[in-house]
Structure 1
């Protein structure tokens, strides 16, 4: 494929790595984001998020003048939509909010020309790509003359720059021609297999992948709560059970976070709540695990207060939604820390992957180990996997939700 200009709308955890990778593969890339700080930072050859190797990719792309960031859409030959898809606020089953996707689609309508590719990468409910086509059609675009497809990202934070290239990709077009054209585009920089299907199947595939993971995590989290009631070490139990040749139980935690596993299952449930019973139950179990964790910390604080006869200090170890990243989106650790603060507890947090937080008092791990009366291990960061933490866990009133103290 001839190298063309790619307009990437949304320069967050997926959009910026994708833009930088494409620029380093010879494409001319114009990135678009409403965050002025992000735009300015990128144009200086720096990054506004934490991701291994991303800084080198961005620095190289900007220096070569193949990546430029803007606050408004720019003309291109390929348009990639990588914007957030949150929930609508309200009660009951969370409803997916694709307003950002549709707004991004409207913003490029004036630039799209015959032969262009329009690709949605944002996690979206089934039918979203068709809704994008309707938006473009209403804006006067002849969608029969362009190629529209859905291609969800499949990357792990902390390994994004590698997995963007190595992982298999699923491409689903609104027409067979669109599927082939967009698949050819991905094959220019993806070494994994590029698998062709239709748009609705690709949309459902992304939701299915993360719902499967959510269900399996829910089993581990439910097991951990059952074991706590019976005085069983869940970590040892899982290690023993996993010696069965056909058993592979995941590790429990303080809940499930991030903008994928904690969100995507609701997109399926919202579409058919009567049928999606297991998926809904798994979401409810994982959400409840976070509330259960709060209650366990409160019990530990009450015990520490009775022992010390003063107001205990709680040190929450970890704030991100998974180990060794700076991403706090939908993080159960953040929810737990906020809940404790709202109840008037003396709370400090340790998060080695961020420098400051506008709500929490951040302290070093060393200070937390010295001054805390209760340790709440919420995230299994590599900085916490040492003998000092294990020793302190054994000496203090501690609640370890991710197995740092085991082994």
Structure 2
């Protein structure tokens, strides 16, 4: 049985570690975050993912998965998989310091039979940089490959077993070793010519999604100017017509899409990927667009605002609020009206998780409590709870002349329609 060390038990690391343990590997997880370690004491992940907690508990009991804060607690491993995050700094520059620190630590624990796999999203050339750094400190040539994570939150435990695994080794031995591992996890592996090609695949995946959302959002912005309904138009354009398949418009965020275009852009010295950069900028503009509309309707003196949905997406459901556009909305609201009380509701994200981002938030356990006497209610994601809201009840619970702003247009055509309901991409369409 192969021994595997997964470094970093965040979303990417935890789902991979437990999936490998479930296939019979002996997996050691390395994590220094006390909140994550505390959750694991109860055999639970620190985030919501269907099936995951049962798999963690089962594999801990079987002795196939354990978690540690130090490498000296880990036996000699055949694979070391790096899943450390690559955040952006205040200047939107990718921060690789944690990955490079881990690389330095690995130089003291790997041997010539070990294979290092980089799973984190990185700018192009990072895998080779790590290889060069390790080669300079070792007496042997290390095996290393870039094999990106590509699952969707909310369905990761299924997708990790079905999606093709991209493999970009520094050489043939590295690719073969990575293939030997991932072929036990999924039926399809795609061997790339270089690690740079594999790094580009990961960035292509997320940049492409960001651009597709941006096209839908640009149509929505245009429709708001023309008093047309983007939802009507996008649905009609894609109906039984394969060449115009677009997502519905709405806020685009999360731990990947909010930063991967910036990582992609930083992979070049003398080239700017204009379409990708412009798409990211457009997707980031939606909050300003909505607030300009709201303040034209009711001014800036609103006393209470409610946000429904703190997670960056609602379908499939997740409690992940990293990169959520709700956080951007909160900051913008406070910039407009510092005295405004902001109340929030999310069915999965805990009060502790939410208040960690902004301690001044008022967190509620029900939609009626969160929206009581509210001047403005923002629906921020597509969680199933928000798709069937009764607008009549909602408005009766809110302050007089309150406004509901639905970023996803989920209640357009609702039988309980109210003229103070507005949807992004369909501003005033029912009131023109």
What TM-score do you get using the length of structure 2 for normalisation?
0.86
What CA distance in whole angstroms lies between the structure 2 residues aligned with 1:246 and 1:107?
50
How far apart in 2 are the matches of 1:165 and 1:29? Answer: 17
Q: Relative to 1, partners in 2 of residues 1:141 and 1:39: Cα closer, same or farther, differing over 3 Å?
A: farther
* Structure 1 counterpart of 2:424: none
Aligned to 1:278: 275
Question: Residue 375 of structure 2 is aligned with which of 355, 373, 382?
Answer: 373
- Against the structure 1 CA distance between its residues 189 and 389, is the aligned structure 2 distance closer, same or farther, given a 3 Å change threshold? farther
Q: Distance in 1 between matches of 2:120 and 2:412?
A: 38
- How far the C-alpha of 1:283 sits from its partner, in A, is 1.0
User: What's the counterpart of residue 405 of structure 1?
Assistant: 411
Aligned to 1:76: 77
What is aligned with 1:151?
147
Deviation per CA, 1:211-255: give whole Å up to 9, x if none: 11111111111111111122112111211111234211211113x
Contact 1:300 1:399 in 2 (8 A): no
Q: After alignment, is 105-114 or 122-131 more displaced? A: 105-114
Q: Tell me, yes or no, if structure 1 residue 260 matches structure 2 residue 248.
A: no
What is the CA-CA distance between 1:55 and the residue it aligns to?
0.2
In the other structure, the counterpart of 2:27 is: 29
Give the aligned partner of residue 294 of structure 1: 291
Q: Alignment partner for residue 314 of structure 1, among 305, 316, 328?
A: 305
Once the two structures are TM-superposed, the CA of residue 86 in structure 1 deviates from its matched residue by 1.0
Correspondent of 1:195 among 179, 187, 190: 190
Q: Distance in 1 between matches of 2:201 and 2:287?
A: 27
Residue 105 (structure 1) aligned to one of 94, 103, 120 = 103
Change (3 A) 1:32 1:294: farther
- Spell out, residue by residue over 1:131-164, the C-alpha distance to the aligned partner (whole angstroms, 9 max, x if none): 1112212332522xx4210000110000011111
Contact 2:5/2:27 (CA < 8 Å) preserved in 1?
Answer: yes
Shift of 1:396: 4.2
Partners of 2:371 and 2:112 lie apart in 1 by 62
The whole-number CA distance in structure 1 between the counterparts of 2:157 and 2:381 is 23
Determine the structure 1 residue equivalent to 2:348.
353
Q: Between Structure 1 and Structure 2, how many residues are aligned?
A: 392
| Structure 2, unaligned runs of 5 or more | 414-432
Does the Cα contact within 8 Å between 1:7 and 1:78 map onto a contact in 2? yes
Determine the C-alpha separation between the residues in 2 that align with 1:201 and 1:322.
29
| SS of residue matched to 1:371 | coil
For the Cα contact (< 8 Å) 2:320–2:349, is it kept in 1?
Answer: no
Q: TM-score, normalised by structure 1?
A: 0.91
Conserved in 2, the CA contact under 8 Å of 1:300 and 1:398? Answer: no
Unmatched tracts of structure 1, length 5 or more? 306-310
Residues 259 and 204 of structure 1, relative CA distance in 2, 3 Å threshold? same
Q: Distance in 1 between matches of 2:134 and 2:40?
A: 29
- Using the TM superposition, give the Cα deviation of residue 300 of structure 1 relative to its aligned residue in structure 2, in angstroms: 4.2
Q: How does 1:7-406 map to 2 (within 5 A)?
A: 7-73=5-71, 74=74, 75-90=76-91, 94-143=92-141, 146-191=142-187, 193-197=188-192, 198-243=194-239, 244-254=241-251, 256-272=252-268, 274-302=271-299, 311-323=302-314, 324-342=317-335, 343-344=337-338, 345-356=340-351, 357-358=354-355, 359=358, 360-363=361-364, 364-389=366-391, 392=394, 396-406=402-412
Two-structure CA RMSD over aligned residues (Å):
2.0
Partner residue, 2:429: none
Distance 1:260 1:382 in 2: 23
Once the two structures are superposed, what CA deviation does each residue of 1:278-306 show, in whole Å capped at 9, x if it has no partner?
11111111111232233334334429x6x
* Equivalent-residue separation in structure 2 for 1:402 and 1:390 (angstroms): 19
Tell me, in whole angstroms, the C-alpha distance in 2 between the residues paired with 1:296 and 1:34.
44
Summarize deviations over 1:239-282 as a string: whole Å, max 9, x none. Answer: 1111234211211113x211212211112212336341111111
Determine the C-alpha separation between the residues in 1 that align with 2:259 and 2:234: 26
Listed one character per residue, the Cα deviations across residues 2-31 of structure 1 (whole Å, up to 9, x for unaligned) are: x21100000000101111111121111110
Aligned partner of 2:428 in structure 1 is: none
